[in-house]
Amino acid sequence: MKNLILIIILFGCLTSFSQVFKTGLILGISGSQVEGDGYAGYHKLGFIAGAFTNTGLSDKWSTQFEIYFINKGSFKAAHPDRGDYRQFDLNINYIEVPLALRYQYKKLMLELGLYGSKFLSYHFEDENGEKKITQYPFKSFDFGGFVGIYYQLNDHFIFNLRSKNSIIPIRDFLNYDQNVGILNKLFNRGWYNVDLNFTIRYQFGKNS
């Protein structure tokens, strides 16, 4: 009897949540760099896969919670034909959890938010092959902020472009960049993730 009552309560809660929260899937690509490694440009390509849930606060404002797997890192190819044999290929894997505040204007939506990431693994190669980073290892967590814009194609498909930047360093190592931000120039605290994300989102149910 107690189990039956619990099932009924849980079913009622889920039914209520389905009327308030909208859920969906996320799939996309990430172009990233590591500020501080000495190599500029969003040359490292990775992929994003996960899910989201959101709820409205008013007619224009809403919040969204996401969780997904993402590749970040940095890439610089060697150019032997130009006498440049240096290569830098860093791939970092995270589980990322962003929380966004969104404002809607017709089919466009602007967002501002914070994210936290759990470090999973990395792979690093240079011109001499694979290398292990033992000194100044990557931190277990990454924390940062982001801004973005959505375009809603219809009730289900939504496109998102998002720019993200670490607030705290992902590795306490010497910053090799010559043209870094004023805060990094003052503190030179280490390496930071910087990435651009383009994702396609599929939202279940109607957008009404």
User: What pLDDT was estimated at residue 206?
Assistant: 66
pLDDT at site 146: 97
pLDDT at 140: 95
For 106-122, the DSSP string reads TTEEEEEEEEEEEEEEE
- Report the pLDDT value the prediction gives residue 10, as an integer from 0 to 100: 45
Instruction: State residue 204's pLDDT score.
Output: 87
Measured in degrees and rounded to the nearest 5, phi and psi for residue 4 equal: -65, -45
Domain extents in the chain = 23-203
Do 51 and 24 touch, CB atoms closer than 8 A?
Answer: yes
Residues paired with 85 in a beta bridge? none
Judge: domain 23-203, CATH 2.40.160.20.
yes
At 6 the pLDDT is 47
> How far, in Å, CA of 134 to CA of 160, rounded?
37
Strand stretches in 18-140, DSSP E: 21-35, 44-56, 61-76, 88-105, 108-126, 129-131
Which residues in the chain show pLDDT less than 70? 1-19, 173-189, 206-208
Cα separation, 206 vs 208, whole angstroms: 6
pLDDT at 74: 92
For residue 59, the 8-state DSSP code is: S
Q: What is the pTM of this model?
A: 0.80
Tokens 């982001």, residue?
A: 146
| 178 burial type by CB count under 10 A (0-12 exposed, 13-18 middle, 19+ buried) | exposed
